[in-house]
Structure 1
Amino acid sequence: MQKILVVETNQATYGKKATPTGLWLGETTEFVLKMHEAGYQVDYVSPQGGYVPVDPRSLKYANKESIRLYQSRDFERRALAETHNPAELTAEDYHAIYYAGGHGAMWDFVNNQPLQQLAEKIYRNGGYITSVCHGIAGLFNLRLPNGNFLIKGRQITGFTTTEEMLAGKYQVVPFLNQPMATKRGAQFVKKHAYSSFVVQDGRLITGQNPFSAQAVAEKLLHEIKPASTTGTKDK
């Protein structure tokens, strides 16, 4: 059966600063719980493979179901300790790729070529490219076979400049998502800060902020057929 691939960051700090960051936990767990509910098997990948740091701030905002998943040994091993390296994976195995956010993604998603090649092939095979919040960083350098940026002329969303200012990270991030998307020819759309918002443009589904992870999952599941409920546990 085809699976869903979740991308997570390996970046533990804001660049060279000591301030911790990493994966925003709920952006993985809330999406994955929806995939499990629908019967899909999920794999986890990171730019370098292996360990994925969790932004400690995100634990305060995680719901009970997310904490339960986070504390499971299977999730701890597969999603946080032993994520796949992109070179280990085959694009044909996946219905969709989903880029989870957290500020760490801004450092290691943008220029990782093995991850880009994997995502581009999933898309060429008819799969979906999805992201939430800072996970949009993984979309910025994806290209179509004709050389154009994948997001050129497309509606997308991600963590906004206003939200970055409200988060107090405007001065420490390596770039801002809105101007980066616009530079690549995308139409960046948004709603109120920190409210759930998802936009779909063909096989491209993007969510604005951490509160949009479930909505991205629901939009994706609306597009793909329900998986068999037999043998769907993560392995």
Structure 2
Amino acid sequence: MEELNNSKNLNEVINDSFDCIYLAGGHATMYDFPDDENINKIISQQYENRKMVAAICHGVGGLLNVRLNNGEYLIKGKSMTGFDWFEETIARRKREVPFNLEAAIKERGADLKKAFIPMTSNVVVDGNLITGQNPFSSKEMAKVVIEQLEKI
């Protein structure tokens, strides 16, 4: 708890290396993550250093504006998942979110993989990018991240 009470600002860790960057979900992340230059830089560096980047649910929005050194979006051409628009409808939150995450993922050129049944677990691994669709993916996501970390 002491470490949580004294967590560092992103500016203090922007050049640090991590085994895994994990973007948690929640609707607020759609406001906070996508345009945060520090988050974008940290994720870009992490990914280009072949380190793991993981995001779940609405936290996937933090991947939308991350660009690699070649100028391309990190998620372009990647298989991934995230909270889809139908699930947003089921959750009755379409009017509370600043954008349609599913549409934004597709606009960036990613291959969105959705669970056959909404609100069920779905985790997608594409190289060192791991994404989970919704809160129901949390257990599977944790298992997959641990398995991937054990490989390094």
Aligned pair count reads 151
The answer as to 2:29 corresponding to 1:109 is no
Contact (CA 8 Å) 2:30, 2:61: kept in 1 or not?
yes
Distance 1:84 1:203, change over 3 A: same
Tell me the CA shift for residue 199 of structure 1.
0.5
Whichever residue aligns with residue 147 of structure 2, its letter is H
Q: Report if the CA contact (8 A) 1:92-1:125 is conserved.
A: no
Which secondary structure does the structure 2 equivalent of 1:195 belong to?
coil
**Contact 1:156/1:188 (CA < 8 Å) preserved in 2?**
yes
Query: How much identity, in percent, do the aligned residues show?
Result: 36
Q: Could you tell me which of 105, 114, 122 is aligned with 1:197? A: 122
User: Bigger radius of gyration, 1 or 2?
Assistant: 1
Unaligned runs of 5+ in 2: none
Instruction: Give secondary structure in 2 for the equivalent of 1:134.
Output: helix
Distance 1:91 1:196, change over 3 A: farther
Report the counterpart of residue 178 of structure 1 in structure 2. 102
1:178-221 Cα deviation digits (max 9, x unpaired)? 10001000111111211111001111100000111221221122
Partner of residue 66, structure 2: 142
Structure 1 stretches of 5 or more lacking a match?
1-73, 228-235
Tell me whether 1:218 sits opposite 2:143 in the alignment: yes
Kindly provide the amino acid, as one letter, of the partner of residue 217 in structure 1: A
Asked whether the 8 Å contact 2:14–2:38 carries over to 1, the reply is: no
- In structure 2, the residue matched to 1:156 is 80
The aligned amino acid for 1:121 is Q
Contact 1:139 1:150 in 2 (8 A): yes
* Aligned partner of 1:168 among 92, 114, 136: 92
Moved over 2 A (4+): 81-84, 90-93, 224-227
Q: Structure 1 residues 189, 85: CA separation in 2 closer, same or farther (over 3 Å shift)?
A: same
CA distance in 1, matches of 2:120, 2:23: 19
Give the Cα separation in 2 of the matches to 1:117 and 1:212.
26
Q: Deviations along 1:141-166, whole A, 9 cap, x unmatched? A: 11111000000011110111011001
CA RMSD of aligned residues (A): 1.8
Q: Is the 8 A contact 2:44 2:67 kept in 1?
A: yes
Cα deviation digits, residues 108-164 of structure 1 (max 9, x gap): 100000111111111122211101100001100111110000000111101110110
| Alignment of 1:124 onto 2:15 | no
